[in-house]
Structure 1
């Protein structure tokens, strides 16, 4: 959809140079981290306040112009692609930490604040924000996609750490959801509705977040296992034993090789677990000892402890760089990146089945995962333009999702739906898709909020 002259003039008058139809700006906001592709948007806007977001939405509502929210652009399922044209609303200029209420363990921020920027702001308070998806993502985007990450096994996901929101609806109406109170029984939980809505219901312009105390002691380690099954079974046993892990991450042999080549690591070409413990010095020492004994029962070997902050930072930087590192295993390749989440009792079976599928299709597909909560990922490397490889990778991703659904899991634990997982939504949710569509129609009757995402077309 092209933006008509009247709408373009209205947006230009409102925003000045922060409204752009230049090819460079449009292409920058029309790219995807993975294989998903779409034409660039018709224009890009950079609001700096809730009032401007509201004014932009009123103009777009009047002219029926699609609006796609944009943070750091690191989503993996094509969430921010302008598949039906329109404007991309880049929220990264709304980047202020509005208030830190240390006594309440809360902070209020604009959507363009990144998780690293917030934690830098919090350093003197003894508090931190724990949700860590790897990329230095914007907090608005993390809420919109219900992001998770390496520390979710202890601290939860964005669902657990967003207390309240300010949201601009499709017609420009500004609403507030949630409160600063620890709990509420007053009406529908609209905060939970917008967290994970992927910009299809409104634009998040302010977030109230739950903070946590910095742990007194932190210990991290990495250890190798002979087989993928033993590593994943160790994870299941660790969670069932009640050892309070702060992080427990799985990487397979291909991913370990990628880390060595890309980040200068010294891991064996075998499956590994990366673990971290938080607490008092005594509790951390005890938890680490118990995990070491348990890991040994499953053949864990070569424990390498990160004993300094610098060593720990290097360990988790290597894990967070998994996407780029794994891409480098096949220079020139792009990736079909998929994730599923299953009940812990099915985790080993699901990972083994995915590995077998990848091998059977003749693909390179490193696997990593936040396996402490049953969530794992595969990065299927395909060459651009090779339709046979792309079809094979999609088959593997679809089978992973179908197996997750069959055991009561989900087609995505943290990547979100976007356009990539949209065809699978009906298989997971059945008739509940009708309820989702009704909510979408009630809040966005003109279907201008990130259209073509999340909710599948009606049959």
Structure 2
């Protein structure tokens, strides 16, 4: 893929770095090559594009100071959490300062009676849930990677629990954001709902760092369910597995998780995670939350639905260690896929369609994939109509890269033709800019107008989401 990289203005860079060093101390403005490369790299196939320098911020006030200096010199700012994004969102396409919020990792308040918490942007989801465990509360959004909460907001992340608990869009009550000129803005109060003014919280959730730096987040949390049970069921064909998902949702079963693995991905997980008692067939993983009797009723209903479509070997997992093993295997699916071809790289991509079109979209995508000869296991948060492919390819092979890109492009266009979206949860970054333009052509000028109003010098993560001209 051709990457549009433009170095930052040397005069602006040198002036900004000198003022940052004077403000925070030269040792706080890190310019070592390895650190810079790490901050220009995410978990995707996209090439590393390093920033000019990295600043490890420790507070909202420090972020505000740093951004104010960068704005003065019109020098780019790229927010950075832990670098688990998948569409090049952290690449410093115009050079600039990477503002790393990983040291802003304090849990500021837990309001158990109101079921909300306030955290700094560098807190990770696992850290938050470990902290909440003794309170009987949990934060359910689970994108797989141990992402930072700030990054999850910026990319509008979701994951395996979204079918019941929604995405980050549904679980953020308020944000503290450092704007492109250094001002600090709080987008809302703690009330569970509000009709007061523009919904600025939702504007910044999913903005991918192009409008400001998220520094604090007020989140919804939930009571840990009385009972949790997992189940696995296998099918002879992918269409039957998808049909089971669709009917489960249409039947109103309140499943917490419903994950699809195709035969290739299931085989990879069996080998990588040492899962016993399963075969390499299309497989559904379920998790049920609720009361003891409610969980049993949900599982029995799903078992009956699966049986209608030929689902066999319905296995229960009620012990925590058994459930954890299953979901660890699911979360390690990316690494399991890579293990199918040692030395290869993974190119993950995703789309999302209305659930009524899911079976058609997956079937056509798999048929198309078979004709390319590529290895690309499929997993899906199918309760939401969202599925992923991981192309396991040799990035040095121009032919494999071409085939993967062409297949991915066709998959995205197929999803758009079904009134779906080019990305259910990976985000746009710069990897899917052209498809965002195809998906929402009338909305792009409005997005540009918002960007121009809030970031007139285009210093906030430039080169992402859409082109400014």
TM-score (norm 2): 0.96
Partner-residue secondary structure (3-state), 2:86: coil
Matching residue of 1:6: 15
Shift of 1:336: 2.0
Matches of 2:336 and 2:24, distance apart in 1: 39
Match of residue 232 from structure 2 = 222
Residue 439 of structure 1 pairs with residue 450 of structure 2: yes
The answer to whether the aligner puts 1:64 opposite 2:61 as a matched pair is no
- Cα distance change on mapping 1:244 and 1:209 into 2, 3 Å: same
Please give the alpha-carbon distance, in whole angstroms, between the structure 2 residues aligned to 1:367 and 1:102: 39
- The aligned residue for residue 395 of structure 1 is 406
Deviations 1:355-380 (A, max 9, x none): 11111111001000100010000011
Q: How many residues align?
A: 458
1:86 aligned to 2:85? no
Structure 1 residue corresponding to 2:368, chosen from 316, 335, 357: 357
Contact 1:15 1:47 in 2 (8 A): no
| Candidates 338, 343, 347, aligned match of 1:327 | 338
Task: Give 1:209's aligned residue.
Answer: 219
| 2:381 counterpart of 1:370 | yes
TM-score by length of 1: 0.98
In structure 1, what is the equivalent of residue 210 of structure 2? 200
Are residue 341 (structure 1) and residue 352 (structure 2) matched? yes
Q: Which residue of 2 aligns with 1:279?
A: 290
Aligned to 1:430: 441
CA drift of 1:90 comes to 0.8
Asked if 1:300 corresponds to 2:344, the answer is no
Q: Give deviations 1:179-232, integer Å, cap 9, x for gaps.
A: 211211111100000000000000001000001111000000111100011100
- Hey, what's the Cα distance between the residues in 1 that align with 2:35 and 2:289? 43
Preserved contact between residue 26 and residue 41 of structure 1 (Cα < 8 Å): yes
Question: Hey, what does 1:27 align to over in structure 2?
Answer: 37
1:50 pairs with one of 56, 60, 82 = 60
Verify the 8 A CA contact 1:225 1:272 in the aligned structure 2. Answer: yes
When structure 1 is superposed on structure 2, of 36-45 and 73-82 the one drifting more is 36-45
Question: What secondary structure sits across from 1:455 in the alignment?
Answer: coil
Across the aligned residues of Structure 1 and Structure 2, the Cα RMSD in angstroms comes to 1.1
Instruction: Give CA deviations for 1:111-144 in whole Å, capped at 9, x if unaligned.
Output: 0000111111111211110000011110000000
* SS of match in other structure, 2:187: strand
1:258-304 deviation line (CA, Å, top 9, x unaligned): 11221112331111000010000011111111111110111111122
2:13 and 2:96 in contact (8 A); partners too: no
Given that residues 255 and 322 in structure 1 are in contact (C-alpha distance below 8 angstroms), is that contact kept between their aligned partners in structure 2? yes
Structure 1 residue 4: Cα displacement = 3.2
Secondary structure of 1:451's partner? coil
1:32 CA drift (Å): 2.7
Distance in 1, Cα, partners of 2:338 & 2:468: 33
Q: What is the CA–CA distance in structure 2 between the aligned matches of 1:229 and 1:393, rounded to whole Å?
A: 23
Instruction: Name whichever of 340-349 and 385-394 sits farther off.
Output: 385-394
The reply on whether 1:171 has 2:181 as its aligned counterpart is yes
2:247 equivalent to 1:265? no
Distance 1:425 1:262 in 2: 35
2:4 — aligned with what? Answer: none
**Partner of 2:229: helix, strand, or coil?**
strand
Partner Cα separation in structure 2 for residue 294 and residue 231 of structure 1: 10
CA drift of 1:18 comes to 2.4
Is this contact kept in 2: 1:423–1:456, CA < 8 A?
Answer: no
Distance 1:38 1:287 in 2: 46
Query: Retained in 2: the 8 A contact 1:230–1:299?
Result: yes
Structure 1 counterpart of 2:467: 456
Report SS of the residue matched to 1:414: coil
Alpha-carbon distance in structure 1 between the residues aligned to 2:13 and 2:366: 50
**3-state SS, counterpart of residue 346 of structure 2:** strand
The answer to which of 208-217 and 2-11 deviates more is: 2-11
Contact 1:231/1:272, CA 8 A, preserved across alignment: yes
Q: Which residue of 2 aligns with 1:417?
A: 428
Partners of 1:164 and 1:177 within 8 A in 2: yes
SS at match of 1:137: coil
Deviation at 1:457, TM superposition (A): 4.7
Query: Residue 13 of structure 1: CA displacement?
Result: 2.6
Q: Which residue of 1 aligns with 2:391?
A: 380
